Amino acid sequence: MDTIRKCKITRYDETITEPPYLTIQLDSIEIPQPEKDNHGEEFAERLRSGCRMKGYTFKFYTTSRDADYDYELVVY
């Protein structure tokens, strides 16, 4: 049984040129995370596809600091 993960789609704030870098939320998406996955490869492909469907180019993902989301997807 796949687990539905809530993800926020973000990009880096280009006005900040020195650390700490911040992101701006653009959108959100829910993606099923497979129960059995080979080192997260299938889940990463699902994240990439979900971003592409919304018109974004996936860069990477990380856990979210926002309690309302499981992951933060950073896009170009």
- Look up the pTM and report it: 0.90
67: its two tokens: 């309690």
Contacts of 74 (CB under 8 A, 6+ apart): 10, 11, 12, 23, 59, 60, 61, 62
Q: What b/e sequence results for 15-38 when a residue is b if at least 16 CB atoms lie within 10 Å of its CB, and e otherwise?
A: eeeeeeeebeeeeebebebeeeee
Q: What is the pLDDT of residues 3-35, one digit of tens each?
A: 999 999 999 999 999 999 999 999 999 999 999
As a whole-number percent, the residues of the chain with pLDDT over 70 amount to 100
DSSP state of 66: S
Residue 1, pLDDT score: 84
